[in-house]
Structure 1
Amino acid sequence: MKPAGMACAALTLSTCALAGGVDRTSQSLSPLFEKGAHLSVEAYASRPQIQGTDAWGQSTGQVAPRFAQWGFAYKQDVDARNSVLVMLTRPYGLDIDYDRQSSRLFGGTQARISTYELMAALRHRWTERWAVHGGLRVQRSEGHVALNGLAFGPLNGYRVDFAPSTRPGYLLGLSYERPEIGLRIAGTYYSAIKHHVTTRETLRAGTTTTDSNSPQSFTLDLQTGLTPCTLVFGQIRWSQWSQFQLSPQAFAAATQGRGLTDLEDATTYTLGLAQKLGQQWSGFVALGYDPQSGKTPLSPLRPSSGRVGYTLGLSYQHERVKITPWISYQRLGATDVSSTRTPMAHFGQSSATAVGVKLGYSFE
């Protein structure tokens, strides 16, 4: 049994929109396992629908704007045993915006955090089945947070701007393959990346410095053939989001050491099935799961808890070109939010819809 190549093994963005809170790509290394020289470009647009009611009975309005993601990867064989990969992605992001004309408790609260990551990795096969991979990552992060509304008391009107910060990290991994049955197991560790960010706060003149860590994480990717035309695939990803602490100096001094974030370690799960539909067509379905937080209430910058995602896609291949469009529906869990320990707004079950496409080209 030798399953034909299908689109599911190359999914990077599509099964992970909104996973793990601000994780938007799952940092998949699937392009590293493509045959020969291969270029891929992927993009998606997401439309969240997150709206709640505050403690005064006022609507919060739509608090999560639409956003777009993209990434590209190029893989090249050096020789029979070694290959290299260069990848550019936007692995993490946060977009929150409370309408000023809605809730008086939270109206005007806003957060924008974006991250870009350039990665270069090398894979070495020491046998036909076992291989190691590793590489360097350079990550650039920037953003701002504004707290507005009566719920923040004396901090109403506080704003902090985070200047761009570029810092290095690394990844290390091990893989096992049996191509004759379509089996691949690949584990990858991603180091934490420590940022030292120049910040400007409304509570203090001049600039301050804020330390922030992008989380260390471990990803386990699996796939195996069930029949020559059917492939099952999955991923388990753990991220230490408790490392991600944003505590600007003036804000921490005014709040007895509190931070702007309250994220916890997260484990996300993906399980999918791909089916060959003809010589040029294949299709896939995938289910993603993100457990709900055990904390309550959560930060106003985190108006949902947990996720169940459903992804459906097709892949069409003509000679060296492969096109993979997909659509995903994410069901987001309910939660209470507050700037203190007392719930001040409730967000019921929410949702997000994402539509994307991946283009791949093989040079050999």
Structure 2
Amino acid sequence: MTSKVLYMFGISFLSSNAFAAAFDRTGQSVSAFLQPGNYFEAGLTISDSTVKGKESGKLDTTRDIPNSSNTTYHPNTALKLQINPNFSFGLIYDQPFSSDATYKGINNFVSASNDKVLIPGYTVGHLAAASGQNEPTGGSDYDVDIQNLSFIFGYQPNKQWNFYVGPAYESFQSNIHLRGRAFSVWNGYNLDSKVTEDWGWLTGFAFQSPQKALKLSLTYRSAITHKVQGTETAPIIDMLMSQSGKDSVNQYLQSINASSAYIAQIDSVLNQLTNVTSTGTTKFKVPDSLNLEFQKGLTKSTMFFGNVRWVNWSTFTWRPYLFGETSEVIGQLANKPDGYVLIHYYKDSWTANLGLGHKFDPKWSGFSSIGWDSGAGGGPVEGYYNVGLGLQYSPTPKYFISTGMKYSWFNDSESKYKGLTSDIANYKNNYGLAYSLKIGYRF
């Protein structure tokens, strides 16, 4: 086998986005589909990061926020069939977008009886005691899982060009639990969504020149909109809508000698909350993206490779139904009649990776890479720099086993996030590790 074939095996990990902007996890490479002949691969990437921070002081405290990131596992597999010299078919499965975080300790993302509710000085403990309901407990956690299966049909008019297109089937599920003062009246909010499935598409082309040991591809993936239905609960909102809750708020306002105009405004908002419907459908839009992947032989035993990825995160907004409806009412008190969004990113993300592969002998090859990610303008991870190393063993020309590791330095996040928790916390000196194991087989 030539070196340019061998090196493609390791590129999919070393150019992947294990800690990329927003929810991006795999980079959605199509390199497996561009392998010659019939090909199968299966792999697993484990991501283990440290994401800790400190409260910004905007809510009067600067307490530590312990590591909130959970270890995640991302399986992937691909099958490519060369039906005849001109037509090929491929299947690629991965989990391109996900989030898994849990907040612990004593901070604004963990519930406490003295968390403020709606009015300065009025707490969750006051409201729960007055309404006879249970206080929210525990810490915030986020679990978003998106799985994708791409069906790719390729046409090769000659040995240099490959044009491909196909549908992409995608599932979405989320479990989001908000806790703590950071989320105001949504302290205790739960969203547990049903699994939804929707379709998108991809298209692209690849060019190769065996004489120059050059190969490149450009792939566009469409946005996919999921219509999400789930169970939403907001216990603080429920307490505020109850008559005992309203009476408690009114009594507290009178005890602090609030103005009659302010009391009337609070009363109007609480009455409007009773008209909010609790169930409905909301949309979650996975953004479109563009991938450029390339490789170039430098010598018979050394290969240069890389990729550049763009994701249209600036169009991304996540506002579940009940959360959105109640936020438009509560937002009147903060001069935000359009309400709040739960998650929003304000810029597109760019990711770039460059690497070298070297063939030591017919059975052993090694890989190294460097990478950069711009971030998407939101959340505790605002882009990164990384380095990666990998090793591949090929007992025979028909199959291989490869393993690799990436270390990422996360950029500091100054909480530029435009969603509900803007400027609540800052994150510094965080990092991530990713490990990969893959097998491949030609038949």
Confirm or deny a common fold (TM above 0.5): yes
Q: How does 1:140-179 map to 2 (within 5 A)?
A: 140-179=171-210
**Structure 1 residue corresponding to 2:290, chosen from 190, 203, 218:** 218
> What is the CA distance between 1:212 and its match in structure 2?
1.4
Which residue is equivalent to 1:262? 344
Structure 2 residue 167 is matched with structure 1 residue 136: yes
Is the contact made by 1:111 and 1:146 (CA closer than 8 Å) also made in structure 2? Answer: yes
* Residues 140, 57 of structure 1: alpha-carbon distance in 2 compared, 3 angstrom cutoff: same
Which residue is equivalent to 1:87? 92
Higher strand share: 1
Which residue is equivalent to 2:237? none
> What is the CA distance between 1:158 and its match in structure 2?
1.4
Which residue is equivalent to 2:361? 278
What SS class does the counterpart of residue 12 from structure 1 fall into?
Answer: helix
C-alpha distance in structure 2 between counterparts of 1:148 and 1:64, whole Å: 16
What SS class does the counterpart of residue 237 from structure 1 fall into?
Answer: strand
* Residues 199, 13 of structure 1: alpha-carbon distance in 2 compared, 3 angstrom cutoff: farther
**Structure 1 residue corresponding to 2:430, chosen from 333, 350, 354:** 350
**Residue type at the aligned position of 2:303:** L
Is the contact made by 1:304 and 1:335 (CA closer than 8 Å) also made in structure 2? Answer: yes
* Residues 291, 342 of structure 1: alpha-carbon distance in 2 compared, 3 angstrom cutoff: closer
Gaps of 5+ in 1: none
Structure 2 residue 125 is matched with structure 1 residue 43: no
Is the contact made by 1:60 and 1:106 (CA closer than 8 Å) also made in structure 2? Answer: no
Structure 2 residue 327 is matched with structure 1 residue 326: no
C-alpha distance in structure 1 between counterparts of 2:375 and 2:195, whole Å: 31
**Residue type at the aligned position of 1:52:** G
Q: When the two structures are aligned, how many residues end up with a matched partner?
A: 355
Identity of aligned residues (%): 26
What SS class does the counterpart of residue 242 from structure 1 fall into?
Answer: helix
Is the contact made by 1:13 and 1:42 (CA closer than 8 Å) also made in structure 2? Answer: no
Which residue is equivalent to 1:69? 74
**Residue type at the aligned position of 1:89:** D
What SS class does the counterpart of residue 5 from structure 2 fall into?
Answer: coil
Is the contact made by 1:336 and 1:344 (CA closer than 8 Å) also made in structure 2? Answer: no
Is the contact made by 2:401 and 2:437 (CA closer than 8 Å) also made in structure 1? Answer: yes
What SS class does the counterpart of residue 11 from structure 1 fall into?
Answer: helix
What SS class does the counterpart of residue 336 from structure 1 fall into?
Answer: coil
Stretch deviating more after TM superposition (247-256 or 158-167): 247-256
Taking only aligned residues, the RMSD between alpha carbons, in angstroms, comes to 1.9
Gaps of 5+ in 2: 112-138, 235-275, 328-337
C-alpha distance in structure 2 between counterparts of 1:332 and 1:155, whole Å: 29
Is the contact made by 2:45 and 2:75 (CA closer than 8 Å) also made in structure 1? Answer: yes
Stretch deviating more after TM superposition (177-186 or 189-198): 177-186
What SS class does the counterpart of residue 195 from structure 1 fall into?
Answer: strand
> What is the CA distance between 1:104 and its match in structure 2?
4.0
Higher helix share: 2
Which residue is equivalent to 1:34? 35
**Residue type at the aligned position of 1:215:** P
C-alpha distance in structure 1 between counterparts of 2:380 and 2:412, whole Å: 8
TM-score, length basis structure 1: 0.92
**Structure 1 residue corresponding to 2:384, chosen from 282, 302, 307:** 307
C-alpha distance in structure 2 between counterparts of 1:133 and 1:292, whole Å: 29
Stretch deviating more after TM superposition (200-209 or 267-276): 200-209
**Residue type at the aligned position of 2:428:** G
What SS class does the counterpart of residue 29 from structure 1 fall into?
Answer: coil
* Residues 159, 130 of structure 1: alpha-carbon distance in 2 compared, 3 angstrom cutoff: same
> What is the CA distance between 1:307 and its match in structure 2?
0.8
Which residue is equivalent to 2:413? 335
What SS class does the counterpart of residue 92 from structure 1 fall into?
Answer: strand
C-alpha distance in structure 2 between counterparts of 1:181 and 1:62, whole Å: 48
Stretch deviating more after TM superposition (11-20 or 42-51): 11-20
> What is the CA distance between 1:7 and its match in structure 2?
3.3
C-alpha distance in structure 2 between counterparts of 1:105 and 1:168, whole Å: 35
Which residue is equivalent to 1:23? 24
Q: Deviations over 1:99-138 (max 9, x none)?
A: 1x33145461111100111111011111221220111110
Structure 2 residue 440 is matched with structure 1 residue 360: yes
**Residue type at the aligned position of 2:71:** R
> What is the CA distance between 1:292 and its match in structure 2?
4.4
What SS class does the counterpart of residue 322 from structure 2 fall into?
Answer: helix
**Residue type at the aligned position of 1:312:** L
> What is the CA distance between 1:205 and its match in structure 2?
6.6
* Residues 342, 165 of structure 1: alpha-carbon distance in 2 compared, 3 angstrom cutoff: closer
TM-score, length basis structure 2: 0.76
What SS class does the counterpart of residue 33 from structure 2 fall into?
Answer: helix
C-alpha distance in structure 1 between counterparts of 2:422 and 2:198, whole Å: 37
Is the contact made by 2:43 and 2:75 (CA closer than 8 Å) also made in structure 1? Answer: yes
Is the contact made by 2:183 and 2:421 (CA closer than 8 Å) also made in structure 1? Answer: no
What SS class does the counterpart of residue 12 from structure 2 fall into?
Answer: coil
